[in-house]
Amino acid sequence: MSKIKAVVYGVGTMNCIITRMLVDKDVDIVGAISRSPSKVGRDLGELTEINRPLGVLVSDDAAEVFERTRPDIAVIAVNSFMADEVPQLRICAEHGVNAVTLSEEALYPWNTSPEITAELDRIAKSTDATLTGTGHQDTYWVNMVAMLMGTAHRIDRVIGRASWNVADYGLDVAVNVQIGRTTAQFEQWLRDAQRPGTFGRNVLDALVADTGLTVTSITTETLPITATSAMHFQSLDIDVAAGNVIGFTDVDEIQTEEGPVFTFEMSGRIYGNEEGDINEWSIEGEPNLVLSNGTVPTRLTTCTQLVNRIPDIIAAPAGFVTMEKLPQLRYRAFPLHSYLNGN
Amino acid sequence: MSKIKAVVYGVGTMNCIITRMLVDKDVDIVGAISRSPSKVGRDLGELTEINRPLGVLVSDDAAEVFERTRPDIAVIAVNSFMADEVPQLRICAEHGVNAVTLSEEALYPWNTSPEITAELDRIAKSTDATLTGTGHQDTYWVNMVAMLMGTAHRIDRVIGRASWNVADYGLDVAVNVQIGRTTAQFEQWLRDAQRPGTFGRNVLDALVADTGLTVTSITTETLPITATSAMHFQSLDIDVAAGNVIGFTDVDEIQTEEGPVFTFEMSGRIYGNEEGDINEWSIEGEPNLVLSNGTVPTRLTTCTQLVNRIPDIIAAPAGFVTMEKLPQLRYRAFPLHSYLNGN
């Protein structure tokens, strides 16, 4: 069986890790695409965790790369929202190239971006390509939760709690999310800000769609998280007075006609020492059930799931196939191409 | 779409709960089978959590029940080991009746009882029936763990820890597992006892088989758990001196040619107050990962999974189809028959 041929689309933090994982799993990287002038023309291996030449030069011409290399899959890590992601997904679909993206909205975009998702689905079906969104949320916020739900007889309520570390994204993001402001300033910002939709919405959309329940209302509420005492955050060199903002929680909630309520609380804040990303879910019903993954290395589990999903995406039917429709995710102990043809 | 027709095979603790769950999910219970003279001829509803007549009389003639009722599925909760379970599974297979059993070994019997499993597989294929083992271990010890493994790039070691409460099974079982004895007495018992195989072995067999890794050795070690101070266990009215046995742990381990090691530690002991069954897994590799379900109501999650698996088992190909081959388990919000035909 021949190796899987992949094109790396976007050469940022995530694809630097993913490129190394693909090489580890014996994937043949045949092309790399980036718009960044500082990367175009350079060897992908030198820009990523490989740290040695791969013989693959970064190009800014996606169409040329696809026509020349005819890859089995394109690995896209460029944008978070479907509106920004359309050009990349469309060019893959038009060239009949399967694509997997880390765009958070692409995890389940049917309700938040229905028209462009339907259009991409139509193009992909016409060229026999599969488009799928994945990432940390695939297993940890959707499929593992759906599996936990599968062990319940009756569900009244599903509640998820996860977090991200504002400090991981630098001072600009921290300022942007109002770190250090008073709660009054935060509320004012919240009223005025044109914040995009939450990704928690896409997570709950996927979970609820999988149950077949009928959605009656969807709400999002945002609550500030405040410092319990004066705090100094070394990683960003920021001081925050007691009572002022150290982050916020987006609470998405879906109510259903049949009764079950789904809530997802996503907190972005500055962590204290020893804190990490959490993933905690509870189900109220018969019986009550819980799931926790301690502290999760979200960035790595985003990359691992994308890589381990590749054989299933290549084998999947054509169209925009969201991850809850794929087979149960499995560990890939061997070269990735050994899992093609149902192995 | 017409209702699913089920026969309840065995009228003990588990099927009492399952019968009620089946009725809740609109399954048509068309027959009940038991060998117990105290149950034969009585109405199933009065013997189970239904507490009202179901119009289904318990019979001791399985063949007659199957020929008369032609059910879509038989729900078997009778034995733990394949050797004891063969008569029930064979009569289902011979009558072309799909069957799901709580027999712990039936979860993955290919390595521990290969001949009888192959024979049942052959009969079931000849009559177009599906035979499957499920229970708490399906999701919590195999499929959820396999999914967690699917979020790893490299696995060096998988370690699971679970527990059961000796007191749940009465004084006879407690005495049988040497509660209150000295560790010397325990070691002597361990040398002399003809203990059957552990069910942890079947769990690890399933996990390892799903990865395609090559098994090089399988070991089981049994270690006593001792009282840290003198203890009185109210539920069994037993006193145990400090240092004496309050239970034991079976440690199953599978080594593989490719490197990864799989360990499962199953502890049966008398619980203190507020303690319950646990389910904790950790993966060492890239990255390190953990999973915990707090305290799990093992008995209920055994019944829920059996019920929720039924549509997938009816739809599965013929033969002995172990649960890691079935689709990802899902919550069944609606009558069970609405999930047939890929709904």
Per-position pLDDT tens, chain A of length 343: 799 999 999 999 999 999 999 999 999 999 999 999 999 999 999 998 788 899 999 999 999 999 999 999 999 999 899 999 999 999 999 999 999 999 999 999 999 999 999 999 999 999 999 999 999 999 999 999 999 999 999 999 999 999 988 888 778 888 888 999 999 999 999 999 888 889 999 999 999 999 999 999 999 999 999 999 998 888 788 899 999 999 999 999 999 999 999 999 999 998 877 889 999 999 999 999 999 999 999 999 999 999 999 999 999 999 999 999 999 999 999 999 999 975 4
- Domain residues for the domain of A255 are 153-286
Question: Where are the strands (E) in B72-200, listed by range?
Answer: 73-76, 98-101, 130-133, 154-165
Q: Give 3-state DSSP helix, strand, coil % of chain B, rounded to 5.
A: 35, 30, 35
Q: Is the same domain home to A221 and A266? A: yes
Judgement on whether residues B182 and B305 belong to the same structural domain of the protein? no
Q: Hey, which residues 247-276 in chain B have their CB within 8 Å of chain A? A: 258, 260
Give A146's contacts in chain B (Cβ within 8 Å): 328, 330-331
Interchain pair A150, B300: CB under 8 A? no
B47-58 tens-digit pLDDT: 987 889 999 999
Residue A146 lies inside a defined structural domain of this protein: no
**Cα dihedral across residues A80, A81, A86, A92: positive or negative:** positive
Q: Indicate if B276 and B165 belong to the same structural domain.
A: yes
Say if residue A160 is in the same domain as residue A277: yes
Within a domain: residue A292?
Answer: no
Cα nearest neighbour of A293 on chain B: B291
Residue A198 lies in a domain: yes
**What Å distances lie between residue B270 and A39, B185, B334, CA to CA?**
63, 18, 38
Residue A214 counted as domain residue: yes
Query: How long, in residues, is chain A?
Result: 343
Question: Are the beta carbons of A311 and B158 closer than 8 angstroms?
Answer: no
* Residue B319 tokens, joined: 């033969």
Domain count, chain A: 2
* Contact: A152, B304; criterion CB under 8 Å: yes
Chain A positions touching B209 (Cβ under 8 A) are none
Is residue A95 located within the same domain as residue A202? Answer: no
Whether the CB-CB separation of A77 and A33 falls below 8 Å is answered with no
Residue B148 at interface with chain A, using a CB cutoff of 8 Å: yes
- In what helix (H) or strand (E) does residue B149 lie, and over which residues does it extend? helix B144-149
What is the mean pLDDT of each successive set of 10 residues along chain B, which is 343 residues long? 95 95 97 96 92 94 98 95 95 98 96 97 98 97 98 98 87 85 94 88 96 96 94 86 95 97 95 89 98 95 98 98 95 96 57
Q: Residue B46: inside a domain, yes or no?
A: yes
Out of A149, A291, A329, closest to residue B150 by CB: A329
Whether residue A218 contacts residue A129, with contact meaning beta carbons closer than 8 Å, is answered with: no
Q: Are residues B17 and B123 in the same domain?
A: yes
Residue of chain B with shortest Cα separation from A136: B151
> Under an 8 A CB cutoff, do A304 and B153 touch?
yes
B285 Cα to chain A: minimum distance (Å):
12
The pLDDT value recorded for residue A30 is 98
Same domain, A159 and A269: yes
Which two three-digit tokens encode residue B189? 């018992």
Look at A146 and B328 and tell me if their CB atoms are within 8 Å.
yes
Domain shared by B111 and B66, yes or no: yes
Which run of H or of E encompasses A203?
helix A199-211
Q: Residue written as tokens 């999760």?
A: A296
Q: What is the CATH number of the domain that holds A307?
A: 3.40.50.720
Residues of chain A in contact with residue B294, where contact means CB-CB under 8 angstroms, are 290, 292
The ipTM is: 0.95
**Cβ contacts from A onto B, under 8 A:** 138
Task: Tell me, yes or no, whether A14 and A127 share the same domain.
Answer: yes
- Candidates A104, A100, A72, A19; CA nearest to A306 is A100
Q: 3-state DSSP call for residue A251?
A: strand
Decide: helix, strand or coil at residue B118. Answer: helix
Domain boundary among A264, A286, A308: A286
What average pLDDT is seen over chain B?
94
Does B302 contact chain A (CB < 8 Å)?
no
In this complex, do A140 and B146 lie within 8 Å of one another by their Cβ atoms? no
Question: Are A95 and A184 found together in one domain?
Answer: no
Whether B165 and B278 map to the same domain: the answer is yes
Is B211 in CB contact (< 8 Å) with chain A? yes
Task: Tell me if A174 is assigned to some domain.
Answer: yes
Question: Looking at the structure, do residues A34 and A115 belong to the same domain, yes or no?
Answer: yes
